[in-house]
Structure 1
Amino acid sequence: MKKIARFIYRILFYFLVLSVAWVSLYKWVAVPITPLMIIRYINSDSKTIRHQWVPLDKISKNLQLAVICSEDQKFISHTGFDTAAIRKVIENNQGKKRMRGASTISQQTAKNVFLWSDRSWIRKGLETYFTFLIELLWDKERILEVYLNSIEMGNEVYGAQAAALFWFNKPASALSKKEATAIAAILPNPRKYIAFPASPYIQKRQQWIARQMANYGTFVLPNE
């Protein structure tokens, strides 16, 4: 039993050291590829990955605000988890087989950059751990930058720059409010929905996001 305990301790120790080092590295280094990109690449016939890292100041403020308003309006103030939304989801999901989540931008970043995509409790536990780490070691500006450069924004399209070029043939820095809301509107299912030309459903989502942006007003990241 002592040998087993020592083995488990070593595994946990090495995991802790390596995970902290990994998260610390990505505080400064552009994320070149994510596990999701690799999985999609292996499973696709085209073997295509559209992805180009750009700094946050090269991504339109319209898109920054659009994704915050559509995905996580408490992003600036929370510490990684929206506890009120989690409680509401738990209440609404009681007795339902298919549960809906309440993932923040921080949680989505942790999942997309460090983990695989499924709904197991192990993955959810690791997501919680990595969310805690990035909130501890990164600032909000870096979390948003990594998020906007890593998430799926179309089929085989990852990050703001690739999405702007793919959907609107322009760089991410030049996205208008209407274009930004179109991209934000497809985020719940970017492999199914199309940003342009937008379907009636996506247009309705664009209008909702635009109203949220107007109500939210301008936003300033803590380090700006």
Structure 2
Amino acid sequence: MVALVLRVMLALAAIPLMLSIAYNVVNPVSTLMLLRWVEGKRVERVWTPIEQMSPALVRTVIASEDASFCSHWGVDLDEMRAAIDKADELDDARGASTIPMQIAKNLFLWPGRALIRKAFEIPLALWLDLVVSKRRLIEIYLNIAEWGPNGEFGVEAGARRAFGIPAARVDARQAALLAVMLPNPRRRDAGNPSAGVERLASRLQARVPREGPELTACLGPLR
């Protein structure tokens, strides 16, 4: 019986490891998208290659979500230590979550604010960063992130909902508005921003040029 349980556990652990490799060529869907489909709720997602996204949008999202994306190996230990120092619990600090960690959560884990999730999220992020290129990782992230209150996933759906344009035509200001939606896409609206969202977007837009080309140095040509 113990041997059977161990085999089952190993098989379950192998699933995300194998899927991670497959996602180099297979376009994934998130667990939240799957849940909405099962519940019969609306899901809008049009997979968009990174070559068809606005370079300003790619740079701005990286600046907002994970400015060290090109230099870490999936987990930013310095940011995590700083976040722990500032927060009561590790998961209270969004700044500790890199883009690979958010991908791991969105593809393989569950929403919520439990430390046990981090125990799975961190090794999965390291594995994703090892077996998937940085360019593909950001492409996946931009296509699975939730970007609206009614089942809009991915930047194409987000840009069309907010501005009525494709992701390829998003300018620097629109990119900043979309990026600051990500922590709370059901309450923040890039198309009809509150004063607070406008302020966040202005600060982010001003910061992006200062971060320099290192933000996307690992991605190669964007357009």
Residue 92 of structure 2 corresponds to residue 99 of structure 1? yes
The aligned counterpart of 1:20 is 17
The aligned counterpart of 1:166 is 161
Q: Name the SS for the 1:50 alignment partner.
A: coil
Determine the C-alpha separation between the residues in 1 that align with 2:73 and 2:91.
27
Residue 32 of structure 2 corresponds to residue 36 of structure 1? yes
Alpha-carbon distance, 1:167 to partner: 0.9
Q: Taking every aligned residue pair, what percent have the same amino acid on both sides?
A: 29
Q: Does the CA contact (< 8 Å) of 2:59 and 2:216 recur in 1?
A: no
Residue 179 of structure 2 corresponds to residue 190 of structure 1? no
Alpha-carbon RMSD across the aligned residues, in angstroms, is 2.0
Residue 113 of structure 2 corresponds to residue 116 of structure 1? no
The aligned counterpart of 2:84 is 90
Q: Does the CA contact (< 8 Å) of 1:149 and 1:160 recur in 2?
A: yes
Q: Which moved more, 1:85-94 or 1:142-151?
A: 85-94
Alpha-carbon distance, 1:122 to partner: 3.3
Specify whether residues 223 and 175 from structure 1 end up closer, same or farther in structure 2 by C-alpha distance, changes over 3 A only.
closer
Which of 38, 49, 69 aligns to 1:55? It is: 49
The aligned counterpart of 2:8 is 11
Q: Does the CA contact (< 8 Å) of 1:141 and 1:221 recur in 2?
A: no
Q: Deviations over 1:136-175 (max 9, x none)?
A: 1101101100000000111121101111111111111111
**Poorly superposed stretches of 4+, deviation over 6 Å:** none
Which of 176, 190, 197 aligns to 1:202? It is: 197
Which of 202, 218, 223 aligns to 1:222? It is: 218
Specify whether residues 127 and 30 from structure 1 end up closer, same or farther in structure 2 by C-alpha distance, changes over 3 A only.
same
Alpha-carbon distance, 1:97 to partner: 11
- Please list every run of 5 or more consecutive structure 1 residues that lacks an aligned counterpart in the other structure: none
Determine the C-alpha separation between the residues in 2 that align with 1:200 and 1:48.
29
Determine the C-alpha separation between the residues in 2 that align with 1:220 and 1:192.
29
- How many residues align? The count is 217
Determine the C-alpha separation between the residues in 2 that align with 1:8 and 1:119.
28
Alpha-carbon distance, 1:112 to partner: 0.9
TM-score calculated relative to the size of structure 1: 0.89
